Structure 1
Amino acid sequence: MTTLILHRSGPDSWVVTSDPNQLTMPEMPAMLSLRGGLFAADARRPDLVPWADIDNVEAAADWILVFYGSEVLAALETEAAVGDHIAVEITDPPTNHPLARLALARWLHRWWPSAHAGVARLDQRLLRAEIGALTWAMQDWLDEADGPEAWLGTHEWAAVETAVAQAPGFASGAELALEPTASGGTAGRRTSFTASLHLLIDAADDLAPDSPVATADLPWPEELIEPALVPSEQDDYALTAGGTTTAAPDWWLVPPRSVGGGEDALRWTEDAGDLTVEVTVGDEPADGLRLRAYAEGDDFPVAAGPLVREGAVYRGRARSTAVEPIDLVEVYHPDQVRPPVPSGMAESWRRGVRGIVNLRTHAAATGQALGGIWPFAAEILATTPLTPQ
């Protein structure tokens, strides 16, 4: 049995949580905007029952009933006037429900970094195809801003619907898992996939590279809120060697995987106020990136300019207006709506993302169900070659 806490957060709104100390959104939220409220699985703890903030119980009734159960819905509908803090026990925590899987898949699509030391490259076409299948299954519950049209173009949606019609089981993800043999371990795991996975790969192949929906244009619900991050034990660090300072770009400020994922992906030198910046190009290069630089004690940029892609790097130059030397350079895209997070928070977020990626990579490589949720197809293929059929 699992106890859920229903906490009144406003005159007509409720927070649903399995942790009485977690009334706010999880620190690393895998969010969906649903009819009648927000839904957030914990990317760090997928074994926990996802959190929700419900502002319209009537509009959210269908997914509350299916996901949390009749006891929770009844408490919200009939006991709302009794108190502001209600405990309800449920028997089957729905951590592997397609709704939770969809939230986590979209989080991975937003935050999985570019491949670098220790981080595998994730096939984003395949992940988007799986997101499409899960979106198909959950489309009646999704808010319009987070629905199929926001994620897939007409051609892509048709490809996903064809694959779902031929193998509807893969929408739940149950058929996409590697199943360890009785001997267990890496050597004994099955490396051939079901026919539904091959259909999913076929659907991914149909996702044209000139899709009308680009990665940078996708709506990210996380950008609508301030993340509840624990401050880092150290600030973003910059290392200087031989006149060149190296640092990591702030992933909040750039499109997903547009820059390198390493801690040395950003490099700059300053000579008598002339700033030269170089940034490693990521798995999904983006146009329109810019630089802005700050001197110690300045709240406003003292140098700014465009970054131009030249092969494997973006390069840019700018002239500083400050007397003091530059101690911070940011890479950003003007279309990123999320305001900058403090430097310590940005580094803490990257460390959190890397921790999740490492954990999920290990689970996929060893055929484990992390928190009861089987790995996604793209995660499996990133660690296990596909056996031809």
Structure 2
Amino acid sequence: MKQQSIERVRLWDGHRDLGVVTLAWRGDEILEVRAEPEGTAHDDELSIIPGLVDTHVHLDGHAGDEPPGWHSNWSLVTPPEELVFHIAANAQKAMRAGVTTLRELGGDERQLAVSRVFEQGIQVGPRLVVHCQVGMTAGHGDLFIPPQYPHRRPVADSPDECRKLVRTWARKGAHGIKIHVSGGVLSQGDKVGWRNQTVDEIRTTIDEAHALGMPVAAHSHSQPTAKLALEEGVDSIEHGTGLDAELWPVAVERNLPVAPTLLINDRLADGTIPVGDEAREKAVAVVAERDANFGGAADAGVRFVLGTDANGVMVQFGEQLDETRRMRDVFSWSDERTLIAATSDAAAAVGLGERVGTLAPGFGADFVLLRGRPWQRIEDLRADAIVAVVSRGRVVRGEIPIAAPVLAAGDSAGQTPASPVSAAEHVAAPQ
């Protein structure tokens, strides 16, 4: 496995601008980030940032160019052997857009299988963290499936059932657990304000997950359920609509990550995504409450991280870049603070802060080469600015340009630079 490098390029490491450096890596490990002398000639248009981390996705949607609508029965009639290809394809779409780490928050055996295949290098793919659900009959997670349909995901309706389901997911290799403490927008016949599960059920689920070393992410769209989730010790809040001034100090003290999922709710509320009246009315109410709370929450220091709820239909895999720009505007953050929330801080939120989200020796080789400086101007974080994406040390999009050699006095000018490394070359040949 040969060492590779990008010479004389501006680099933002997930925390700060390091100036012009040479970045060297071998396989999936960064070997060196070497500062170049001030005044070193370089391409001033290009820069490197870490691959983005989306802390909240759902990968089991149709991966084709024209997916069926959210209300389609496609996922119910498609066999799991076929669905895994769509899960992998959606993850790879995100990866090629510069999102090199994903956290699936509605996983089961299928997403876990894809995660292992990527991790083992059998297929080229991003890092995939999978949380599996523990929810109740007629809860948010259960109401996406028509009542009469017999093939349903497992549910848990007592503390003992919750404990057993957590253990079942642990046996299957889950990385974490997802719970619903409120109802949701798209679940049919549901109400956003509905409490999901009893306090004892929630407490038992969290206790067992933590006992088995698994973090717990909590879906919440109301103030009482967000308060309950905080009191019971969840590890992240998803959506966080009801995080009001009473809860900001608690969230800040615990440094709890919150995935705001802005674009999907904006689109549901304004009609960009065609849904039924029930879902749209719920989305309008959610966005109104969110907008009343989020500005103050950000000012108070609540830890918002990139989390989109991307599913390939309502938010595409690749629109994480748009979500990041939207975060800057909603939270009135600096461009650099915004990019931290989408890279190093999001990596820490999914338990991978010592491996990804930062470009430094010993970290994984996940990064994006692009035109512009998004830590100074977040508008530069867009698809058409990406020159290349490297995931796990492989070029998965575009090509890495090879810098011409810097000639010292008296050197011959006839040296031939190496050829650029392309995505096709890297993906075709395992390292």
TM-score of the aligned structures, taking structure 1 as reference length: 0.25
- When the two structures are superposed, what TM-score results if normalisation uses the length of structure 2? 0.24
